């Protein structure tokens, strides 16, 4: 049986992108990753990912060292196309949970169906975990990426640690 691990991720660059049809293509070109058009899906290219959060809203996640370049690219888009970008890099933190009991640990504090058929690899959603709003993204059959507001991160980590006690983790 593989161990289930929970780790706080290093700093990442995060932007919330909002816009209509013209902005979608322009943002995708500027940041080098397609913005998913299917509900609750993520797209990745190299070290960047775009998560669909709503009909005209995406969360862009990239390495911390790319922040300035991405900000410059996005500002060049919004200078000519109607759309908006908000830097949420400092507001949120990432948490990774991986292993045989990752889904069970998550389900201890939220009722979302995490069976692979219902929540496949590449799916993402905004949801409530215990009393905290999170964005949950399935990265592989046994691993998830959680985005949570910085002030709620210790609470979410403590909940996950508590849930994993049942499995001897």
For the chain, percent of residues with pLDDT exceeding 90? 92
**Amino acid 150: pLDDT:** 97
Domain boundaries of the chain, sorted by first residue: 12-87, 91-167
CATH number of 12-87: 3.30.70.1520
Interatomic CA distance for residues 129 and 124, integer angstroms: 14
95-136 pLDDT, tens digit per residue, is 999 999 999 999 999 999 999 999 999 999 999 999 999 999
Helix (H) or strand (E) holding 124: strand 124-129
* pTM metric for this prediction: 0.94
**Amino acid 1: pLDDT:** 43
Calculate the alpha carbon distances from 19 to 26, 124, 132 in Å.
10, 19, 27
6-51 pLDDT, tens digit per residue, is 999 999 999 999 999 899 999 999 999 999 999 999 999 999 999 9
167 pLDDT above the threshold of 90: no
- SS3 (DSSP) at 11: coil
- Pair 142, 100: CB distance under 8 Å: yes
57-92 pLDDT, tens digit per residue, is 999 999 999 999 999 999 999 999 999 999 999 999
Q: Which fold has domain 91-167?
A: Gyrase A; domain 2 (3.30.1360)
């Amino acid at each position: 049986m593989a161990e289930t691990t929970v780790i706080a991720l290093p700093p990442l660059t995060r932007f919330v992108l909002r816009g209509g049809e013209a902005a979608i293509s322009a943002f995708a070109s500027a940041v080098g990753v397609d913005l998913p058009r299917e509900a609750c899906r993520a797209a990745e290219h190299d070290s960047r990912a775009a998560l669909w959060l709503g009909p005209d809203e995406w969360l862009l996640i990239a390495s911390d060292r790319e922040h300035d370049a991405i900000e410059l690219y996005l500002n060049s888009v919004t200078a000519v196309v109607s759309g908006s970008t908000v830097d949420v890099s400092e507001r949120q933190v990432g948490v990774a949970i991986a292993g045989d009991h990752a889904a069970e640990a998550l389900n201890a504090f939220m009722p979302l169906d995490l069976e692979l058929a219902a929540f496949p690899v590449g799916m993402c959603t905004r949801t409530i975990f215990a009393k905290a709003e999170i964005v949950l993204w399935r990265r592989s059959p046994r691993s998830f990426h959680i985005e949570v507001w910085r002030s709620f991160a210790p609470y979410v980590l403590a909940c996950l640690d508590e849930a994993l006690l049942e499995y001897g983790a």
